Amino acid sequence: MPIMECIVSAPGKAILHGEHAVVHGKVALAVSLDLRTYLRLVPNSTGKVCINLPNIHTFLSWDVTSLQSLLPGHAADLKNAKELDIDLLPRLRSFIGVTDCNTDTSTMAVLAFLYLCLSVFTETRELPGLTVSVWSELPTGAGLGSSAAYSVCLAAALLCARGAITPPLGDLEHTARWSEEEMELINTWAFLGEKIIHGNPSGVDNAVSTWGGVLRYRAGKITPLSRVPMLRILLTNTKVPRSTKVLVAGVKDKIYKFPSIMNPVLESIDAVSSTCQETLTEMASESTPEHYSVLEELMDINQHHLNVIGVGHPSLDTLCRVTLARGLHSKLTGAGGRGLRHHPAQARH
Ligand SMILES: Nc1ncnc2c1ncn2[C@@H]1O[C@H](COP(=O)(O)OP(=O)(O)OP(=O)(O)O)[C@@H](O)[C@H]1O
Ligand SMILES: C[C@@](O)(CCO)CC(=O)[O-]
Ligand SMILES: [Mg+2]
């Protein structure tokens, strides 16, 4: 089947409450942002698979024939691709010449691309020549879900090229909509992309990037929140580099080391998310100054909790102090930061 050119985009997100706790089955509230990642996929007749990632200065190509030899022996069940193929990842690592220790931005982006590309096309046994270019308005590694938006774009475009979902826009259409089933398929494959980049993601980031809007997420269950007030959120990027993978693993270690201390903190974060959800629902009918002060207190409480679980950073402490002096209550959003490899952005109502 000939491959069609396609252009797709997906939004980044801000987590209002529940980051990290959501990895351990607690509630998170997430909202999509007006900052997007874009992807263009075009077929080519050069016999190469090419990836252009200008944001991270990565431009690579491989012969289709050499990639073809890496195709998994068994075809992935497109609709039930829940777990990573643990044999394919090491094969890909050795193909691109990196070890398990290489977790830099470019390596992770290339691995996610090649993994999704090969797995989606396994069943056809024939990999087409194609060029994929991805560019983004989102800062990379700043807590705004750049990895999820990247994975969602890859999943949507590759599934489309494979003919597993309908093309995003017909010739005579101005707007397009994928069916619920197609959206779920995109989300399933984006989650695998996140697993490659993150290690142990909860799935909240790819869910909000796939569906947009505001949603509550708990243990894989996505509940869109339709009645929420218009919120103005100030995002600040501290520009301190860090990796979500490293931070998520650090929290897991801390819970393992101090279960009786950390589990109640996660429970409390869960309660913060639920209280925030109730407050937002009430505000949709009528907002009062008391509602805003509850939202502010919840921000402060959660920022302290995030410090306790070890994902704070001195730059965030400074930011919270500076913004509070101007009446703004801040918390980190996304993975946070600590040690040499951190970051984040701040959110405030
Ligand atoms: N525009 C992009 N081009 C290529 N790769 C990207 C792009 N944006 C993100 N990535 C990939 O995602 C990784 C960053 O993901 P990471 O989860 O660490 O941060 P984030 O998603 O921005 O923040 P958070 O997960 O806290 O919301 C990069 O290392 C890179 O592999
Ligand atoms: C830190 C985390 O909770 C949010 C990252 O945006 C990780 C995850 O949910 O996968
Ligand atoms: Mg991420």
pLDDT at 20 over 70: yes
- Active site annotation includes 205: yes
Residues 85, 119, 151, 205: which is the catalytic one?
205
* Measured distance CA(163)–CA(187) in Å, rounded: 16
Order of strands, edge to edge, in the sheet holding 331-333?
Answer: 236-237, 345-347, 331-333
- Nearest residue CA, atom 1 of ligand 2? 335
Q: Which amino acid is at 195?
A: K
- Write out the two tokens for 145: 């879900």
Percent of the chain scoring above 90 in pLDDT:
79
pLDDT at 117 over 60: yes
- Active site annotation includes 315: no
From 294, 295, 286, select the one nearest 232 (Cα to Cα): 295
Least confident stretch, 25-29, 48-52, 231-235:
231-235
pLDDT at 332 over 50: yes
* pTM for the model: 0.94
- Nearest residue CA, atom 12 of ligand 1? 147
Mean pLDDT in residue range 27-33: 97
Percent of the chain scoring above 70 in pLDDT:
94
Q: Are 331 and 309 in contact (CB under 8 A)?
A: no
Point out the ligand nearest to the CA of residue 105.
1
Q: What is the atom index within ligand 1 of the atom nearest the CA of 242?
A: 18
Q: What is the atom index within ligand 1 of the atom nearest the CA of 245?
A: 18
Position with higher pLDDT, 75 vs 311: 311
pLDDT class of 338 with cuts at 50, 70, 90: low
pLDDT at 56 (0 to 100): 97
Q: Find where tokens 């475009």 sit.
A: 157
- Which of 16, 17, 22, when mutated, tests ligand 2's pocket best, judged by the most ligand atoms within 8 Å of its CB? 22
Least confident stretch, 46-55, 56-65, 233-242, 306-315:
233-242
For residue range 204-242, list pLDDT tens digits in order: 999 999 999 999 999 999 999 988 898 888 999 999 888
Q: Are 143 and 332 in contact (CB under 8 A)?
A: yes
For residue range 82-102, list pLDDT tens digits in order: 889 889 999 999 999 999 888
CA of residue 130 to ligand 2 center, whole Å: 31
Q: Determine whether 22 is exposed, middle or buried from the number of CB atoms within 10 Å of its CB (0-12, 13-18, 19+).
A: buried
pLDDT at 74 (0 to 100): 74
Q: Are 35 and 349 in contact (CB under 8 A)?
A: no
Alpha carbon separation from 264 to 104, 111, 260, 349 (Å, rounded) = 34, 37, 7, 26
- Which of 19, 53, 146, 150, when mutated, tests ligand 1's pocket best, judged by the most ligand atoms within 8 Å of its CB? 146
CA of residue 32 to ligand 3 center, whole Å: 14
From 137, 136, 109, 141, select the one nearest 335 (Cα to Cα): 141
Residues 136, 147, 151, 202: which is the catalytic one?
147
Q: Which residues line ligand 1 (CB under 6 A)?
A: 37, 53, 55-56, 105, 108-109, 134, 136, 140-147, 150, 197-198, 205, 243-244, 334-335
pLDDT at 211 (0 to 100): 95
Q: What is the atom index within ligand 2 of the atom nearest the CA of 148?
A: 6
pLDDT at 344 over 60: no
pLDDT at 341 (0 to 100): 32
For residue range 158-172, list pLDDT tens digits in order: 999 999 998 877 666
* Measured distance CA(125)–CA(118) in Å, rounded: 9
Average pLDDT, the chain: 91
Point out the ligand nearest to the CA of residue 219.
2
From 348, 226, 217, select the one nearest 280 (Cα to Cα): 226
pLDDT at 170 (0 to 100): 64
Position with higher pLDDT, 181 vs 338: 181
Q: With a 6 A CB cut-off, is 246 part of the ligand 2 pocket?
A: no
pLDDT at 119 (0 to 100): 93
From 20, 15, 18, 16, select the one nearest 254 (Cα to Cα): 20
pLDDT at 77 (0 to 100): 81
Contacting residues for 196 by C-beta, under 8 A, at least 6 apart: 84, 89, 108, 111, 112, 115
CA of residue 186 to ligand 1 center, whole Å: 18
pLDDT class of 304 with cuts at 50, 70, 90: very high
Mean pLDDT in residue range 272-290: 96
Q: What is the atom index within ligand 2 of the atom nearest the CA of 20?
A: 3
- ipTM rounded to 2 decimals: 0.99
* DSSP summary character for residue 168: S
Q: What is the atom index within ligand 2 of the atom nearest the CA of 248?
A: 1
Position with higher pLDDT, 157 vs 72: 157
